[in-house]
Chains A and B, each alone.
Chain A
Amino acid sequence: MIATKIPNGPIQEKWTQYKATSKLINPANRRKYKVIVVGTGLAGSSCAASLSELGFQVDVFTFHESPRRAHSVAAQGGINAAKDYKNDGDSIWRMFYDTVKGGDFRSREANVYRMAECSLALIDQAVAQGVPFAREYSGYLSNRSFGGVQVSRTFYARGQTGQQLLQGAYQALIRQSAVGNVSLHTRYEMMDLVVVENKAKGIVARNLDTGEISIQEADAVVLATGGYGKIYYLSTLAMNCNASAIWRAHKRGAHFAAPSWTQFHPTSLPQMGDYQSKLTLMSESLRNDGRIWVPKKEHDPRAPKDIPEEERDYYLERKYPSYGNLAPRDISSRAAKEQIDSNHGVGPMKNAVYLDFKDAIARDGKAAIEKRYGNLFDMYKKITGMNAYEQPMLISPAAHFSMGGLWVDYELMSNVQGLFVLGEANFADHGANRLGANSLLQACVDGYFISTHTIMNYLAGETPNVKIDQAIVSNLKKETENRLAKLLAIKGNKTAEEFHKELGILLYTKCGLIREKPILLEAKSQILALQKSFYKDLLVPEGQQINFELEKAARVEDYLELALLIVEDALQREESCGAHFRKEYQTTEGEAKRNDEEYQYVSVWESIEKNVFKLHKEQLEFEYIKVSERSYK
């Protein structure tokens, strides 16, 4: 039932083979085809620009006021590429291996290999666009190392790599809107997917300023709408990040893969009060010099400086002596959560752990630490008002990246024909845990290099510009209009934001870093209750025209349904892997215990009706990499 369309042949040749045999369209005929791209982050902008350069018509939609606001902009650390500029033994193969292992053997080998393969050309492309990556005094590009690997393959632009790469893609896109075939629709939100005979043929779009709802037709649809970690409310994501585009596509038949795999970033600032809207990320690089600890005593009220050395528990160093404070993200985050849950948490809300630079300052001097992390310490002070040179930082895990997303085959096409899903919105490359600096890479290669070929291959078999039956069009329009009218008509007493906050807390405590069957069952019934209350008590201020509250309400409505699928997914996977840790399935030392015999598959969910889902499985075959235990002891 699940056809991945992975080409035959050795893994090193699959992508070359695919490109050599995929169908092409004559340059003069390409302009007859129209592709809709939803989302203007790295994946969407790069795909739209590249398609337009090839000669296709491209209609781009974003709910932002400008393509440059997309959340790719916020990625800090870097982007991986197996250039081996450092002569440190890096190769496509090694990058492929690191990524599959980092994903805890729950990703598709052929896709991961291709991502590593395409990484080389991506760096060339970005530099040609004028992306100012960090350089050595020689004038050549600089690299640094990142978590989970032993080589230096990360290219970076200070702490603003995402912003710089997005500028490159945005400029390519906006250039095509001037000289090419891109027409850009800002402040438009995709409300639904148009599917005719199991083929994606357009979207239902809402103009967020006028409220007007229209049907936009095309020969193929690309969703590059990002991740849904914001479902946890408090997260490192932007306020407007949402799952609505992929969720609406899911409800129209697109399968959703591994929804419960969300990465929690270990070094975010903790929540400081109930009013808080967002958790700010502090760069992971701080863990190179900071030591993470909590008081040994439960509910210890003392200030950190009053707690003597022997009463501190440097739990990462204790549990993972070889990796220590640099243990991978999933493991570090979970360990922190365990300390907080067992009453060792610190800070005003007892929801954090210490990241202490005292020893590093004593060893290297304050000046050295200031040189390395000065900007981060300043940022910490600006946000918290605290001085991290004098007292340890407070850090806490926060929802960050969704490894899950719409299911796609090797061509990045969903089971709905002609619906392509790129970047964080799909599930394909990261397995159950993403390595740092691989998310920018995936978004870029999906957009610039992969989708361009696979979309052309699909379109070559399609008759362009087939008009959709008017009856279908007006029905679809009406459905969206009714949906919004219904939300406006509830006139309860609770804002969408309040529902979102409630859902976030529920998911974070019951289906977050640590999961357990009875608790998950509880979460399920509570989400259903919250859904019920949403339709009874929701308050949206009047107005079909520009109305941020109405936009939010529709997104929260979708989040409430997705939340249920997340819990369902976490329930069915009776093993621990990567970001998914089930309390019942751990080793005697408290580590994640995979069950490869029964769960070496990707869960692929079909939407049957509202709140009812059916599980399919994509079995994962590991032909090239030996599946082993992921140990960082």
Chain B
Amino acid sequence: MNLTLKIWRQKNISDKGGFKDYKVTDISKDMSFLEMLDVLNEQLSDKGEDPVHFDHDCREGICGMCSLHINGKPHGPLQTTTCQLHMRSFNDGETITIEPWRATAFPVVKDLVVDRSSFDRIIQAGGYVSVNTGGVPDANEIPIPKRIADEAFDAATCIGCGACVAACKNASAMLFTSAKISQLAMLPQGQVERKERAEKMIAQMDSEGFGACTNTGACSAECPKGISLSNIARMNREYFAASVSSENV
């Protein structure tokens, strides 16, 4: 395949940035999208140009590192991570537009690399069970109905890639935040801090500059792990319950 790539280039966080066109030739349809970018980078290096910086690591869809807005969609045309997207999803001669995640809370560091540390700070605000190492009960002393365990698991599969934010016209982080709040609200281990967690994580999410939710559902539709929109409903319920019955007055 021969392709034209329209790629966002930006030297650093303060640079204005802009699109630049590149041509790649003899691309195999069996290549992954990132391997196609590897080919481009080899070409650029050989010509003495700066290679395109993009985030990636495990290349098996679980670390949450890879990103990329491809032809206007986070992680490209399939509901998967970019590393699991292959060139057979594109046509010979096509022009592919590649941009970084776009959100105030995800500033562009270089080219296609963005800073997602705002996600860490949301978790830091309360996305955990405050248990120290040692002194915990036997694992089977906390039976959890399978249905609840499975649902909590579904929420826990979030890989923190940020596609939900990138997909949202408001750059909202509701899906990400709600996945963690839901997981821990459903499990007995999370009950002690349930209200405080919802309040603190949502406050942090707001202070990071993520937008509000207008229930369009783009986040869930683009989520490579299929995190359900019902988590947002649950988070709203948790937040409401916490705000009317909070111990923090």
In the complex, chain A residues whose CB is within 8 Å of the CB of B123: 170-171, 174
**Interface residues in A276-296 (C-beta closer than 8 Å to B):** 276-278, 280-281
B133 touches A49 (CB 8 A): yes
CA separation between A482 and B93, bound complex, in Å?
45
B59 touches A239 (CB 8 A): yes
Point out residues on B near A: beta carbons under 8 Å: 12, 28-32, 34-35, 38-39, 42, 45-46, 48-51, 53, 55-60, 62-65, 80, 84, 86, 88, 109-110, 113, 115-117, 119-120, 123-125, 127-134, 136-140, 142-146, 149-150, 152-153, 156-157, 159-160, 183-184, 187, 189-190
Given contacts A65-B116, A452-B133, A498-B42, 16 further A-B contacts (CB under 8 A): A64-B57, A64-B65, A68-B120, A74-B63, A85-B140, A124-B138, A128-B131, A129-B131, A164-B156, A171-B129, A177-B124, A178-B125, A239-B56, A277-B59, A382-B86, A383-B86
In the complex, chain B residues whose CB is within 8 Å of the CB of A69: 57, 63-65
CA separation between A167 and B155, bound complex, in Å?
12
B31 and chain A: residue at smallest CB distance: A275
**A106 interface hit (Cβ, 8 Å):** no
A173 to chain B, nearest CB (A): 9
Q: With A157-B153, A275-B28, A546-B53 given, is the CB distance from A46 to B63 under 8 Å? A: no
**A32 interface hit (Cβ, 8 Å):** no
In the complex, chain A residues whose CB is within 8 Å of the CB of B51: 541, 548-549
Digit string of A36-53 for contact with B (CB within 8 Å is 1, else 0)? 000000000010011001
Q: With A132-B156, A239-B59, A280-B60 given, is the CB distance from A171 to B50 under 8 Å? A: no
CA separation between A275 and B45, bound complex, in Å?
16
B139 touches A130 (CB 8 A): no
Digit string of A71-89 for contact with B (CB within 8 Å is 1, else 0)? 1011000000001010000
In the complex, chain B residues whose CB is within 8 Å of the CB of A177: 124
B127 and chain A: residue at smallest CB distance: A171
Listed from nearest, the 10 A-B pairs whose CB atoms lie closest are A139-B143, A171-B128, A128-B136, A132-B153, A127-B139, A50-B133, A278-B59, A238-B58, A238-B57, A135-B149
In the complex, chain A residues whose CB is within 8 Å of the CB of B153: 132, 157-158, 164
A333 to chain B, nearest CB (A): 19
A174 touches B124 (CB 8 A): yes
CA separation between A360 and B53, bound complex, in Å?
46
A552 to chain B, nearest CB (A): 10
A66 and chain B: residue at smallest CB distance: B120
A370 to chain B, nearest CB (A): 19
**A209 interface hit (Cβ, 8 Å):** yes
Query: Which listed residue, B46, B139, B143, touches A83 by the CB 8 Å rule?
Result: B139
B184 and chain A: residue at smallest CB distance: A130
**A449 interface hit (Cβ, 8 Å):** yes
**A186 interface hit (Cβ, 8 Å):** yes
CA separation between A568 and B58, bound complex, in Å?
30
B61 to chain A, nearest CB (A): 8
CA separation between A250 and B110, bound complex, in Å?
33
CA separation between A121 and B131, bound complex, in Å?
14
B35 touches A125 (CB 8 A): no
A141 touches B127 (CB 8 A): no
Q: Per DSSP, are chain B's interface residues mostly helix, strand or loop, or mixed? A: loop
CA separation between A543 and B48, bound complex, in Å?
12
A178 and chain B: residue at smallest CB distance: B124
A215 to chain B, nearest CB (A): 24
A128 touches B59 (CB 8 A): no
In the complex, chain B residues whose CB is within 8 Å of the CB of A74: 58, 60, 62-63
B140 touches A140 (CB 8 A): yes
B136 touches A125 (CB 8 A): yes
CA separation between A498 and B43, bound complex, in Å?
12
B186 to chain A, nearest CB (A): 9
B146 touches A137 (CB 8 A): yes
B136 touches A132 (CB 8 A): no
**Interface residues in A117-145 (C-beta closer than 8 Å to B):** 121, 123-130, 132-141
**A12 interface hit (Cβ, 8 Å):** no
CA separation between A493 and B47, bound complex, in Å?
9
**A240 interface hit (Cβ, 8 Å):** yes
CA separation between A113 and B62, bound complex, in Å?
32
CA separation between A253 and B99, bound complex, in Å?
46
CA separation between A397 and B134, bound complex, in Å?
39
**A297 interface hit (Cβ, 8 Å):** no
A563 to chain B, nearest CB (A): 22
In the complex, chain A residues whose CB is within 8 Å of the CB of B29: 385
**A150 interface hit (Cβ, 8 Å):** no
In the complex, chain B residues whose CB is within 8 Å of the CB of A164: 153, 156
A66 touches B116 (CB 8 A): yes
Digit string of A500-535 for contact with B (CB within 8 Å is 1, else 0)? 000000000000000000000000000000000000
Query: Which listed residue, B128, B137, B149, touches A129 by the CB 8 Å rule?
Result: B128
In the complex, chain B residues whose CB is within 8 Å of the CB of A273: 28, 30-31
CA separation between A448 and B120, bound complex, in Å?
22
Q: What are 26 A-B interface contacts by the 8 Å CB criterion?
A: A53-B132, A65-B116, A69-B63, A74-B58, A123-B139, A124-B137, A124-B138, A128-B142, A128-B189, A129-B189, A132-B149, A133-B139, A136-B146, A140-B140, A141-B140, A163-B62, A174-B120, A277-B35, A278-B60, A281-B60, A382-B86, A385-B86, A495-B42, A539-B46, A541-B49, A543-B50
CA separation between A157 and B149, bound complex, in Å?
10
A378 to chain B, nearest CB (A): 11
Query: Which listed residue, B35, B58, B88, touches A71 by the CB 8 Å rule?
Result: B58
In the complex, chain A residues whose CB is within 8 Å of the CB of B183: 130, 132
**A175 interface hit (Cβ, 8 Å):** yes
In the complex, chain A residues whose CB is within 8 Å of the CB of B113: 546
Query: Which listed residue, A49, A121, A186, touches B117 by the CB 8 Å rule?
Result: A186
Query: Which listed residue, B48, B58, B128, B157, touches A175 by the CB 8 Å rule?
Result: B128
Query: Which listed residue, B45, B49, B140, B190, touches A130 by the CB 8 Å rule?
Result: B190
Query: Which listed residue, A65, A163, A541, touches B115 by the CB 8 Å rule?
Result: A65
Query: Which listed residue, A129, A160, A238, A543, touches B157 by the CB 8 Å rule?
Result: A160
In the complex, chain A residues whose CB is within 8 Å of the CB of B58: 71, 73-74, 238-239
**A369 interface hit (Cβ, 8 Å):** no
CA separation between A162 and B140, bound complex, in Å?
20
Digit string of A157-187 for contact with B (CB within 8 Å is 1, else 0)? 1101011100100111011011100000010
**A387 interface hit (Cβ, 8 Å):** no
CA separation between A74 and B190, bound complex, in Å?
25
CA separation between A122 and B179, bound complex, in Å?
25
B188 and chain A: residue at smallest CB distance: A130
**A272 interface hit (Cβ, 8 Å):** yes
B146 touches A135 (CB 8 A): yes
B223 to chain A, nearest CB (A): 15
A163 touches B160 (CB 8 A): no
A236 and chain B: residue at smallest CB distance: B60
**A497 interface hit (Cβ, 8 Å):** yes
In the complex, chain B residues whose CB is within 8 Å of the CB of A493: 46
**A198 interface hit (Cβ, 8 Å):** no
A172 touches B35 (CB 8 A): no
B120 and chain A: residue at smallest CB distance: A66
